[in-house]
A and B are shown apart, each in its own frame.
Chain A
Amino acid sequence: MSADLAIRLRGVVKRYGSITAVDGLDLEVPVGTCVGLLGPNGAGKSTTMRLLTAQAIADEGDLEVLGYRLPEESKQARAQLGVTPQLDNLDTTLTVEQNLLVFTHLYRIGRADRRAAIARALAMANLVGRRESRVDKLSGGMRRRLLIARALVHRPRLVLLDEPTVGLDPQVRQELWALIDALRAEGTTILMSTHYIEEAQRLADTVLIMSHGSAVAAGPPAQLVAEHAGREAVEVYGPPPRLAEVETAARTAGLRTRRTGTSVSVLGVEGADGRAPEGERRPANLEDVFVLLTGEEIA
């Protein structure tokens, strides 16, 4: 194993009956980077996360986390791993502090260091003033922050965040981004799944786009955009017949298009001279790549 990879998956397959949730996935997460797993619902993001903690066992393929082979040595890996699940599983009748205390024990922090670990986690999650609050009295955003803080009590080398900001309002999401950014700045390796494009673009050094259980593209966001969507796009708004017209015209001119609900985007128009339709010019973005590669629409 190469010492500079925190996660290394090769040809990983995970089936549930007739469903193949993960289908020959290759994934590399270099130490100290933040990798975003981007994919539509059911792409296999959560299953991948569960494979990394050996809560799901792969049918095929090789998995290594922090140099440990899974599933045999997963316990050692888990000791240095922090996990934030997609679904909240805090103890809701306990206080914020009690939730953290339980995890200092589960993560084997020595008696002498427990208080400091809790204080540090509270500070990171900006919950110092809420130490004594019962979890069921917290707002959704606070609960999420606590869920992340709980994964950090033991200063893990690697953190798995499964859709850390799902269902939160934009402002709370920004708070969480700040928290994740701070983690990154400390040098913690992060694997984060999301279906918010902006989140991946803002936080991830490398993005892996997943669809139907396997990687359809991987690389730094800017490089993916340049490679798959070009530099500029033209966005055309109008009634459906007009949009269909634009699509046909663009395709015959050899340009790629994608639908955005009420508009059509024609991609790679920077070198298209007269072939591009009239419309709003904008830089191509990761969303264009995502829709092109997964065939999914973003709301």
Chain B
Amino acid sequence: MAIATPPRPARLGRLERPALTGVLVREIVNYSSYWRASTFSSTVEPTIYLLAFGFGFGSLVSEIAGYEYVEFVGTGTVATAVLFSSAFPAMFGTFVKYQFQRTYDAVLAAPVDTEELVTAEALWMAIRAGVYGCVPLVVAVFFGLDPAWGMLTVPGIAFVAGFGWACFGISVAGFASSFENFNYVVSAVLTPLFLVAGTFFPLSELPEWAQIAGELNPLHHCVELVRHAAFGWDGWTDLVRLGALVLFGLVMWRIAIYAMTRKLVD
């Protein structure tokens, strides 16, 4: 049976490649003017966490949950790097581009819809998270973590998690009416999620309710997936974790589009 190809619609569709490319090119060209600062903050910060905890704390506890502490933190801080290179730039960058540079006004006057704009911006930050997310792992390998084939999946895990966090950041910027509002989100949402992700200590030491809550933390899934990529997979559990990250990304993506449409189109 032959499958009829549907006629090409005369209308321009949703999520068109040229529109996404256009927005990405803008980001890439801009990146060429600020990549140093951005690479610096996205890699140095998690590395400092890694060194401070890995060696400072590592001298007190040599082993945790069956891993050497440096290895435990080295794999865990990948999630930190992802968070720092997606959620934060998304929050601040989106707000600046909307409010001060009015960049989005210029982009939306071109044949680009808000949905495409948000998607391309999130993809861009996800790509960066995929790259920057590997830095702590490389540093940890340098300090004695054994390389493993599974580590090749880390950029992919960081990308998926980064997409969700970027969309989270864009949503926050979309709903916020001023910079000050970000403080609430950082203190009440990001800091707790960051600390209770299993990065620096295993969640198994926490009370049961906190462990259950931890399973709702996308950052925790990212931490676990990266750890298993380095030390060995955990079958179905890891697939479920990956599924959770994908779901987080999809939900946040739609919320980000909603929030920015409200903000950009009046």
Contacts and interface: CB of A to CB of B under 8 A. Distances in A.
B120 to A, nearest CB: 11
A81 B12 contact: no
B111 A79 contact: yes
A55 B22 contact: no
A102 B18 CA distance: 12
A94 interface: yes
A81 B109 contact: yes
Contacts of B265: 54-57
B22 to A, nearest CB: 4
Contacts of B19: 106
Contacts of A89: 101-103, 105-106
A277 to B, nearest CB: 49
Contacts of B109: 53, 55, 78, 81, 83, 85
A93 B34 CA distance: 9
Given A91-B26, A94-B33, A105-B26, A78 B101 contact: no
A55 B111 contact: no
A55 B108 contact: yes
A103 to B, nearest CB: 7
B23 A106 contact: yes
Contacts of B107: 106
B29 A102 contact: yes
Nearest to B26: A102
A106 B22 contact: yes
A76 B16 CA distance: 12
A107 interface: yes
Interface string B15-38: 000110111011001100110000
Contacts of A50: 266
Given A55-B108, A75-B12, A75-B111, A102 B25 contact: yes
Of B19, B22, B23, most buried by chain A (CB within 10 Å of CB) is B22
Given A94-B33, A108-B22, A87 B102 contact: yes
Contacts of A296: none
Interface string B29-66: 11001100000000000000000000000000000000
B180 to A, nearest CB: 23
A138 to B, nearest CB: 16
B266 A16 contact: yes
B110 interface: yes
Interface residues of A, number: 32
Interface residues of B, number: 28
B215 interface: no
Contacts of A56: 265-266
A106 to B, nearest CB: 4
A263 interface: no
Contacts of A201: none
B103 A106 contact: no
B113 interface: yes
Contacts of A106: 19, 22-23, 25-26, 107, 110-112
Contacts of B26: 91, 102, 105-106
Contacts of A88: 102
B264 interface: yes
Given A85-B102, A94-B29, A94-B33, A107 B111 contact: yes
Interface in A134-192: 150
A108 to B, nearest CB: 5
B11 interface: yes
A182 B70 CA distance: 67
Nearest to A78: B111
Contact of B11 (A76, A78, A91, A103): A76
A101 interface: yes
A73 interface: yes
A126 interface: no
A103 B19 CA distance: 11
Given A101-B29, A106-B112, A91 B18 contact: no
A98 interface: yes
Contacts of B25: 101-102, 105-106
Given A106-B107, A106-B110, A76 B30 contact: no
Top 7 closest A-B pairs, CB basis? Answer: A106-B22, A89-B102, A83-B109, A106-B110, A79-B111, A105-B25, A105-B22
Given A54-B265, A106-B110, 14 more contacts: A53-B108, A75-B111, A76-B111, A78-B110, A78-B111, A81-B109, A85-B102, A88-B102, A91-B103, A93-B30, A105-B21, A105-B25, A106-B111, A150-B106
Interface of A: 16, 50, 53-57, 73, 75-76, 78-79, 81, 83, 85, 87-94, 98, 101-103, 105-108, 150
Interface of B: 11-12, 18-19, 21-23, 25-26, 29-30, 33-34, 101-103, 105-113, 264-266
18 contacts: A55-B266, A56-B265, A75-B12, A75-B111, A76-B11, A78-B110, A85-B102, A85-B106, A87-B102, A89-B102, A91-B26, A91-B101, A93-B33, A94-B30, A102-B26, A103-B110, A105-B26, A106-B19
